[in-house]
């Protein structure tokens, strides 16, 4: 009986050994190569990695094909995987001598969906580490993973290509790459937002703005100086240890890079003088444009000056000289 029609069975250990040999060869040519290496049997362990994989598996277009890539990831066949804005490139070792090249293109999140995401996060995210670690309210996680309306892509937003001769809709090498993305997100969840072409800081920034308005309203209701400095420091990351002279009638003689207090006083005077000269008032964004200073520095000055009665609030987020 002839068995020439059937390919020889290759054990997992043989596949793993073959992938390891090829990886060593590639590393000699390119030490910066980035293979997918699993610790244990789980392909993904964090919220972002697991959610990425679950999102792919729940679509009928993928559910019957993507499972083919699990064993490839587990035996180290994904020799290199790189994530950039809207694209993933990988090298996957298959049955051939040379690894196959896989390119996956993923569309960015639409403006409408991103706007909805920012609105959903308002007041619910306190820090970037909290977001990246997946430690946020369950309801927010449900919004993120909503099918067709959340952060994760649908099959219609994903295009892929592989150099292998397999004409299947999704070959094993593409499937392995898709699972490899989930593993990579375990190491660096921030890559997810880079891939979807959005700024992760936007989700935190909206929360900070909402909290700043609440804090200022609280400050207006309280007598000057009674608002706790710990509230300011914890909420906005303001360094309350440094004493800054808020009397903008004083002009420092000379700014010296070696004298931090003098530099801080100069910057403070500049910010408050601009506010004082304004007839209708200014917001933080406008002050950033006029001074070139960062948002944190400007808010630091505004909060201290507001507490001391040097400036007043002309409207929501608008400030005038008192």
Q: Tell which residue, 52, 44, 30, 34, has the closest CA to residue 74.
A: 44
Name the token pair of 205. Answer: 């920034």
Q: Tell which residue, 198, 186, 205, 102, has the closest CA to residue 152.
A: 198
Name the token pair of 120. Answer: 């959903």
117 and 162 co-located in one domain:
yes
Residue 121 lies in a domain: yes
314 and 196 co-located in one domain:
no
Cα(34)–Cα(184) distance, rounded to whole angstroms? 10
86 and 230 co-located in one domain:
no
| pLDDT of residue 107 exceeding 90 | yes
82 φψ region: left (φ > 0), alpha (ψ -120 to 50), beta (else): beta
Query: What confidence tier does 307 reach under pLDDT thresholds 50, 70, 90?
Result: confident
Q: Tell me, what CATH number does 246's domain have?
A: 1.10.10.10
Condensed to tens digits (0 to 9), the pLDDT of residues 146-159 reads 998 999 999 999 99
Query: What confidence tier does 279 reach under pLDDT thresholds 50, 70, 90?
Result: confident
Residue 215 lies in a domain: no
Note the pLDDT of residue 49.
96
Contact 65, 170 (CB under 8 A): yes
Lowest mean pLDDT of 33-47, 138-152, 203-217, name the range.
203-217
Residue 101 lies in a domain: yes
Of the segments 168-172, 186-190, 276-280, 285-289, which one has the largest average pLDDT value? 186-190
Angle at 39 between CA 159 and CA 179, to 5 degrees: 10
Mean pLDDT of the residues in the chain: 81
198 and 317 co-located in one domain:
no
140 and 99 co-located in one domain:
yes
Residue 308 lies in a domain: yes
Name the token pair of 180. Answer: 């490899």
Share of the chain above pLDDT 70, in %: 78
Q: What average pLDDT does this structure show over 62-84? A: 91
Query: What confidence tier does 259 reach under pLDDT thresholds 50, 70, 90?
Result: low
Note the pLDDT of residue 281.
83
Note the pLDDT of residue 296.
82
198 and 226 co-located in one domain:
no
175 and 229 co-located in one domain:
no
| pLDDT of residue 292 exceeding 80 | yes
CB neighbourhood size of 199 (10 A): 11
Residue 46 lies in a domain: yes
181 and 262 co-located in one domain:
no
Residue 7 lies in a domain: no
Cα(121)–Cα(136) distance, rounded to whole angstroms? 10
DSSP character at residue 67:
G
Residue 212 lies in a domain: no
66 and 197 co-located in one domain:
yes
Boundaries of domain holding 296 = 222-321
246 and 302 co-located in one domain:
yes
115 and 178 co-located in one domain:
yes
| pLDDT of residue 223 exceeding 70 | no
Residue 208 lies in a domain: no
Neighbouring residues of 134: CB distance < 8 A, sequence distance ≥ 6? 46, 47, 48, 141, 189
Q: How many domains does the chain contain in total?
A: 2
183 and 229 co-located in one domain:
no
């Amino acid at each position: 009986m002839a068995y020439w029609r059937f390919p020889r069975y290759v054990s997992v250990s043989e596949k793993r050994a073959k992938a390891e040999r090829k990886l060593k060869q590639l590393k000699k040519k390119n030490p910066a190569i980035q293979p997918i290496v699993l610790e244990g049997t789980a392909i993904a362990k964090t919220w972002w990695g697991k959610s990425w994989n679950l999102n792919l598996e729940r679509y009928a277009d993928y559910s019957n094909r993507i499972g083919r890539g699990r064993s490839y990831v587990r035996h180290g066949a994904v020799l290199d995987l790189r994530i950039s804005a809207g694209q993933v490139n990988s090298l996957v070792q298959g049955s051939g001598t040379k690894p196959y090249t896989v390119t996956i293109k993923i569309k960015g999140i639409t403006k409408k969906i991103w706007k909805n995401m920012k609105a959903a996060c308002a007041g619910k995210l306190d820090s970037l580490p909290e977001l990246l670690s997946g430690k946020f309210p369950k309801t927010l996680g449900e919004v993120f993973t909503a099918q067709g309306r959340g952060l994760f892509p649908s099959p219609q937003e994903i295009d892929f290509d592989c150099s292998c001769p397999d004409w299947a809709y999704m070959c094993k090498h593409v499937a392995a790459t898709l699972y490899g993305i989930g593993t990579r997100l375990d190491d660096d969840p921030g890559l997810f937002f880079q891939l979807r072409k959005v700024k992760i800081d936007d989700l935190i920034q909206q929360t900070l703005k909402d909290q700043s308005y609440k804090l200022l309203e609280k400050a207006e209701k309280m007598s000057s100086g009674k608002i706790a400095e710990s509230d300011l420091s914890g909420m906005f990351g303001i360094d309350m240890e440094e004493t800054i002279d808020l009397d903008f009638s004083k002009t420092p003689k000379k700014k010296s890079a070696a004298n931090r207090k003098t530099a801080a006083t100069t910057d403070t005077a500049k910010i408050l003088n601009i506010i004082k000269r304004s007839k209708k008032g200014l917001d933080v964004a406008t002050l950033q444009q006029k001074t070139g200073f960062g948002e944190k520095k400007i808010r630091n000055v505004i909060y201290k000056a507001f507490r001391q009665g040097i400036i007043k609030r002309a409207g929501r987020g608008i400030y005038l000289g008192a």
